[in-house]
Amino acid sequence: MPFPQDRPRRMRRNEALRSLVRETHLAPDDLVWPLFVLPGKRVRNPVKSMPGVFQLSVDELVAEAQAGYEAGVRSVILFGIPEHKDEIGSGAYDENGVVPQAIRALKAQVPGLVVMTDVCMCEYTDHGHCGILKAPKAGGPGQDLSVDNDATLPLLAKEAVAHARAGADIVAPSDMMDGRVAAIRAALDAEGYGDVPVLSYAAKFAGAFYGPFRDAAESAPREGPGIPKDRKGYQMDPGNWREALREVALDVAEGADMVMVKPAVPYLDIVRLIRDRFELPVAAYHVSGEYAMIKAAAERGWIDEARVVLETLLCCRRAGADLILTYYAKEAAGLLTGKRR
């Protein structure tokens, strides 16, 4: 047989050669660290289903963010857990609420940090849904309550403005209400925050990977008469890819500056489709269930945690994600910079 003319293995012989021709790179700047903040002082509540993740008071949050910044993490996204919840999620747009407090503290004490905020109602409503609920029309189909899309939009806009006023660099609506990007963009512009970008959770699927997050954010839908048991009525069906592209196109038309796919790894095909069709930055959210599965397997000694984490995040980048939201951000940054081994 003639000698093969193509020998790809030549460039794999050692790490120096592999690094020279590596097509995709992962850096700490690509990572966004989700953090949970709640009222109080010196509070550091471990999340049982997410080892290494905590509910933090503002003072502890600042210390954690500072440690992440020193490890190389340059961006965080905040999720608030209010002291009191009600049916209209009033804590979400309280200008003195826990998230605005955290934003001001972070901007004062870690000034180089990019502070993003989740804009949604589920952490703040007593029923756990992402908007306010309404009763069905008399004589109409169904007896259950449902999320009132249009009545929720002004509240989301108020929440985004409250975060911008506190100093948020980016607001990120995750509610999946139709028209929320336009409502938020209009409110920000009207209040003089035209320079604050909107990162839209454009393709957020009603998947099974969110359970640990709902423990951390205390945001699971409440069981009760007439209350929808899940969020399938407004989050996307996992089987739909054309609809994902439509959702992104709508959000881009409404003024989104960046778009997100959530979850990440099971939906990397969606990340690639969006990357190939749109010019905006694309984010992928490596969600709580994905994090918890790696942790569980690592604790049992079944996998090399560090290698699996870096490979997983690298593959998100290879699929087309410009930034990755991950609970592994600090650990991954440390591994990438050599500050953790």
The answer for residues whose C-beta is within 8 angstroms of residue 111's C-beta and 6 or more apart is: none
Q: Is 228 exposed, middle or buried (0-12, 13-18, 19+ CB in 10 A)?
A: middle
Nearest partner of 35 among 20, 25, 50, judged by Cα: 50
Q: In whole angstroms, what is the distance from residue 252 CA to residue 258 CA?
A: 8
- Residue 232 among the catalytic residues: no
Closest CA to 119 of 128, 127, 131, 108: 131
Strands (E), the chain: 31-37, 44-46, 54-56, 75-80, 114-119, 133-134, 146-147, 170-173, 199-204, 258-262, 282-286, 323-326
Structure-token match 């289903």, residue found: 49
**Rounded-to-integer distance, Cα 54 and Cα 40, Å:** 14
Active site annotation includes 262: yes
Give me the catalytic one of 85, 204, 295, 330.
204
CA distance 234 to 127: 15
Phi, psi values for residue 301, rounded to 5° = 75, 15
Among residues 85, 262, 295, 330, which one is catalytic?
A: 262
Residues acting as catalytic residues? 204, 262
